[in-house]
Amino acid sequence: MRISAKVDYAVRAMCELAAHTGDAPLKAEQIASAQEIPLSFLENILVDLRRAGFVRSLRGQVGGYRMAKPASEITTADVIRAVEGPLADVRGMRPESLAFTGSAASLREVWLATRVSLRRVLERVSIADVVAGEITPDVAALLDDPDALVPH
Length of the chain: 152
Please give the residue that has the higher pLDDT: either 18 or 60: 18
H or E stretch at 127? helix 127-132
Instruction: Write down the pLDDT at residue 88.
Output: 85
H or E stretch at 43? helix 39-51
Q: pTM of the full predicted structure?
A: 0.90
Q: Chain-centre distance of CA 68, in angstroms? A: 16
With bands split at pLDDT 50, 70 and 90, how would you rate the model's confidence at 93?
Answer: confident
Q: Is the pLDDT of residue 2 over 90?
A: no
Mean pLDDT of the region 92-115: 91
Q: Is the pLDDT of residue 48 over 90?
A: yes
* Distance between CA atoms of residues 142 and 25, nearest Å: 36
**Taking the chain, what is the end-to-end CA distance rounded to the nearest angstrom?**
11
Instruction: Write down the pLDDT at residue 36.
Output: 97
Mean pLDDT of the region 67-94: 93
- Which of these ranges, 9-13, 17-21, 90-94, 112-116, has the smallest mean pLDDT? 90-94
Tens of pLDDT, residues 24-44: 999 999 999 999 999 999 999
Q: Which residues contact 79 (CB under 8 A, 6 or more apart)?
A: 7, 10, 11, 14, 49, 54, 127
